[in-house]
Amino acid sequence: MNVLTLLLLGPLVSAVLIFLIIFLFSKVHQSVYTFLALLGPGVSAFLALFVSYYSYFEKEVFSSHLFTWLHIGDFVVEAALKADALSAFMILFVAPVSFLIHIYATGYMDGQRSYGRFFAYFNIFVFFMLLLVLADNPIIMFIGWEGVGLTSYALIGFYYEEIKNTYAGNKAFILNRIGDFGFLSALMLLFLEIGSGGFDFEHIFYNLVQIDSGMLSLIAFLLFVGAMGKSAQIPLFVWLPDAMAGPTPVSALIHAATMVTAGVYMVARFAPLYNLTPDISIFIAYVGALSALFAAVVATREYDIKKILAYSTMSQLGFMFMALGVGAYSTALFHMFAHAFFKALLFMAAGAIIAAFHHKQDIRELRGIQAPVLFVMMYIATLTITAIPPFSAFFSKDAIMSALYASGHVEIFFLAFVASLLTAFYMFRMVFVLFFTREKKSAQKSGASMIYPMAVLTLLSIFAGLLNFPEIFAGELNISHWLGLAEQSHKVPHATEIILMGVNTLFIAGVIFYTYKKYAYTDAIEKENETSVIANKFYVDAFYHQTVVRTLQAFSLFFDKTISKSLIDDSINAMAFAYYKIGKIFAHAENGNVRFYALYILVGVVSGFIYLYFLLGDVV
Amino acid sequence: MSTLSLMIFLPIITAFALFVTKIHINIVKTLYMIVTGIVMYLAFSLYVAFDANASMQFIEYHPWIAEYGISYHIGVDGVSLGIVMMNAIIMPLVAIALYKQRDKRGYWINLLFVQGGIMGAVLSLDLMLFYLFWEVMLLPIFFMIGLFGYGNKHFITMKFNIYTILGSLMMLIGILYVAVQYKGQFGVYSFDLYDLKNVKLGARESFFAFSGFMLAFAIKIPIFPFHTWLSETYRSAPTGAVIVMSALMAKLGAYAIWRFLFTLFPETSHALAPYFIGIGLFGLIYFGISAMSQSHLKKMFALSSASHLSLVVVGFFIYDVYGLVGSSYLIVAHAVSSTALFLMAGMLFERTKTYHIDSLGGIAAVAPKFALFFAFFALSIVGVPLTAGFVAEVLIVLGAFEYDIYVGFISATTILLAMLFMFKMISQVLYGKVSESAKNFQDLRLHELIALIPLALLILAMGIFPNYFIKKIEPTAKSFAAGKEAVYHE
């Protein structure tokens, strides 16, 4: 069997088996589910490492043709997989991180009522995610794209006893699909322009030059609308904080490490297209910059530990889009790679804290938790996300900053700089509030199945930077060379880069010190104002509710009650009743009285004669 | 007797025989199962034997009233094959799901009757024959609502019937007019579709004849603004009748536009296409948004069906292979999904005695299997990937974009509209705190599972391996598009 096929189908088979077991047997030991749940992602993770290894060292391209999905006229869609360098790079972190979070989840979900159902969904998610990154043509990619949204919906609303959770899932899927509306429209236009020359990525990129620039910009823009929805960028981001209603492993895997990064992957995948549309690329960079800044600002007044991390994810995705926008594709991808590790780790640590603390999520209530292992891991992850050397994100974020600087868009660079300072502020605010307190509370210890995956991710957070070691440190940018994307290279002199790095790090250190003074061992957090504009997330949610949701509901009532019922149906009924009333009038005539009938006969005969008179009168 | 004729007349004759003899209800049910089972077997063998490289086939022709050129002329092509298959598959499954609830002979006799009627209408290639079956399939529904319905059923079934018959009469006038014109031009009477398409009509005459037909189809589908009978009728109709109406009869209306109007009045259809695309797109959005404020489950599903059928109409009127294949596919996909959803709504009512979304809730906690299937079928209406609806919608949207970029954008909203009400409904019915009505909710029974599982598998198979199914439609679409000079994208 083909490697890629096996890699893709592993999680699906697991999911189907789990579903069958749930369906057919009422009582099954939990270990059966655990075994199946880990089997699929485990196989995938192993094969992904294998594929990436050969892709990296041997420059091998794996491919697999499953079947012809659709063939009507020119519209040929093959269900085919292909692991070129970019896809191999994606599965290199998607599959192993999925596997690690699955292990973590076996501990986190231990003993919960819907243990099997959870892993069935979780495995299906991995399947769709792999389909998304391995697909060889955009239609199959779109199926994976929608599929991850669907499983995300199911998992956000996993604790369905609380109906609010399912509403959060609905919101996520609806906003995602607004993005998908753009994605689908873009694909349709792309097909109509150049689809007859083959609709796999290779042929699409080869034929791109045939499209005129206006249409190309429209397609590029619509594709990015899809990315906005999936990667929670302004204006379609409002679902991501609500998505934290799902179990924490879901937040770690779907809403931090993998699914939300799909937008970044998609833009990078369509790099040849975006290179031809510089206007849209800069637009992407602006959206990314604003999202990064907005999310970072909101995170400074957030108290729910998971929502802080959610806004942080949105902010980091904004950084990636900035890099994509200026054409530094591999830099964006590398940051995504590092982000997958440290953000998953942050979420898993948060989950462990939440689980140890009776499922409370407010950092003011969680203050003073005593969990040394979790503290160390969370601290390392926080240092990583704030881009402190020598952790991985230092290299990736620094590369983004210097690419932004080199691109000449100083305003974007400035926004990114402010956002990165705010990142240090809100992340350390969270850490200092949680752990740096006088009074301590003891907590339950986390299980081994939760700790070990986190330990692996901690190591990866620290060392993943080595893979793309920058040139100034005598590195070779291995990942950038491996990916070989059509980058627009913005090079800065080494001296400038070092100054940028130094200034950046210095400022960040300053912010951390300020945050320490403000939050560690003080009660500053208690005094914060919860009614400010920032604490209300700039009223974006409320605005959407008032404008979009309310308008739709008003229209719905107007259509149903006023137009359909009062206007159309009542007039149809009125016609029928008018007919009935006319019938009533005639019924009066037919009343059984002979003298009336005699009258009718008389009238009939007379009018007959009159008619004949006029008819014959002409003749005579 | 050929396969097609057997599929038409076996149910009708059986229904007659059951009607005149007074036998026990259990024998009626058994006979129903046997007959629909045979029809299903015949349909499957038809599907296998159906040549994927040809359009119209299995043609059967017998002169009937030769004096007026009325003949028994039937045949099946890629587009009608879908409806034939649905008619054959859905009927036995409905019985399996409902056989415990319904103990009135009339219920099953009417269903048998309507199966034959629909089969005849789909397969007819003679306009008189078509008109006959078109009316025949109406009567059982009239009786089913009147006898076994809910609420203000007598008024509603009367209104539905008068409204539908008004449309049919206009169509009859249209048919007679065209036949008379044929007589005038060719010297003999004929009601055969392939003869009548040679009639030359002036633009005005053609428009009026077209309108007569269109009124009948527009009411049946229904398209805006002929939809006001719909939600009340669906609400009071018993489950079996609702399924027949939404899954089969409504589709037949859309199919008839393609089969008869596009053949008989090609120029007029083409000239009026932009208006009907407009009405279709308007209906897609109008019904979708209307459904948002429904609190009655069946009324919501009714408007949801109407929304999708408007999209089917759009797909036909854009005159292109993608649109046609997509619409034909959506007819089948939606038939399966809506059958399953209405069946489950019926099961829900049987257990909770309510259709009101507000008084339901928390079913997932007490009946996980029910919840799983219900959510699955609701999502398949929304057209999530790996379900048949997804494929169909992608194709229609593709055709729409090819027709015009703005039409494309508006039709692409189909991936948003159904979600607006479906997701909230799923949350309110299945999730949240266990409601009073759902406390003793019994999970799916074996016979219900037997009815639902094939439908679910069919939806998945059509979503994952669409090419296998679409191969059968494609030659029809191609020959049609070639005739219409609507070519593939250069």
Q: A318 pLDDT exceeds 90?
A: yes
Average pLDDT, whole number, for chain B? 90
Using CB atoms, which residue from A23, A72, A144 is nearest to B321? A72
Using CB atoms, which residue from A67, A161, A184 is nearest to B465? A67
> How many inter-chain contacts (A to B, CB under 8 Å) are there?
147
Report pLDDT digits (tens) over B350-370: 888 889 998 888 899 899 889
Q: B489 pLDDT exceeds 50?
A: no
Query: For residue B371, what pLDDT is reported?
Result: 92
Using CB atoms, which residue from B292, B408, B466 is nearest to A70? B466
Query: For residue A517, what pLDDT is reported?
Result: 87
Query: For residue A475, what pLDDT is reported?
Result: 66
Mean pLDDT of A588-608: 88
Q: Residue A192 and residue B420: Cβ atoms within 8 Å? A: no
Determine the residue of chain B that is closest to A560 in CA distance: B290
Mean pLDDT of B101-126: 90
Per-residue confidence band for B420, with pLDDT thresholds at 50, 70 and 90 = confident
Report pLDDT digits (tens) over B42-80: 999 999 998 888 888 899 999 998 888 899 999 998 889
Q: Could you identify the residue written with the tokens 């509603």?
A: B156
Query: For residue B338, what pLDDT is reported?
Result: 93
Determine the residue of chain A that is closest to B228 in CA distance: A569
Mean pLDDT of A306-321: 93
Report pLDDT digits (tens) over B18-32: 989 888 888 899 999
Please list every residue in chain A whose beta carbon sits closer than 8 Å to the beta carbon of residue B467.
67-71
Query: For residue B110, what pLDDT is reported?
Result: 92
Q: Residue A143 and residue B291: Cβ atoms within 8 Å? A: no
B321 touching chain A per CB within 8 A: yes
- Which of A138-142, A331-335, A522-526, B449-453 is the least confident region? A522-526
Query: For residue B1, what pLDDT is reported?
Result: 67
Residue A525 is classified by DSSP as G
Q: Which of A560, A565, A577 is the best residue to mutate to test the B interface, defined by the most B CB atoms within 10 Å of its own CB?
A: A560
Distances (CA, A) of A355 to A427, A444, A446: 20, 8, 8
The domain locations on chain A are 163-543, 546-619
Spell out the SS3 assignment of chain B: CCHHHHHHHHHHHHHHHHHHCCCCHHHHHHHHHHHHHHHHHHHHHHHHHCCCCCCCEEEEEEEEEHHHCEEEEEEECHHHHHHHHHHHHHHHHHHHHHCCCCCCHHHHHHHHHHHHHHHHHHHECEHHHHHHHHHHCHHHHHHHHHHHCCCCHHHHHHHHHHHHHHHHHHHHHHHHHHHHHHHHHHCCCCCEHHHHCCCCCCHHHHHHHHHHHHHHHHHHCCCCCCCCCHHHHHHHCCHHHHHHHHHHHHHHHHHHHHHHHHHHCHHHHHHHHHHHHHHHHHHHHHHHHHHHCCCEHHHHHHHHHHHHHHHHHHHHHCCCHHHHHHHHHHHHHHHHHHHHHHHHHHHHHHHHCCCEHHHCCCHHHHCHHHHHHHHHHHHHHHCCCCCHHHHHHHHHHHHHHHHCHHHHHHHHCHHHHHHHHHHHHHHHHHCCCCCHHHCCCCCCCHHHHHHHHHHHHHHHHHHHCHHHHHHHHHHHHHHHHHHCCCCCCC
Q: B451 pLDDT exceeds 70?
A: yes
Query: For residue A412, what pLDDT is reported?
Result: 92
Q: Residue B385 and residue A142: Cβ atoms within 8 Å? A: yes
Report pLDDT digits (tens) over B195-226: 888 888 888 999 999 999 999 999 999 998 89
**Residue A272 CB-density burial (10 A; 0-12 exposed, 13-18 middle, 19+ buried):** middle
Query: For residue A328, what pLDDT is reported?
Result: 87
Mean pLDDT of A448-459: 88
Determine the residue of chain A that is closest to B488 in CA distance: A73
Of all residues in chain B, what percent carry a pLDDT higher than 90?
58
Residue type, A495: A
Mean pLDDT of B459-487: 81
Query: For residue B488, what pLDDT is reported?
Result: 38
Please list every residue in chain B whose beta carbon sits closer than 8 Å to the beta carbon of residue A143.
385-386, 390
Q: B117 pLDDT exceeds 90?
A: yes
Q: Could you identify the residue written with the tokens 């037997």?
A: B450
Determine the residue of chain A that is closest to B405 in CA distance: A189
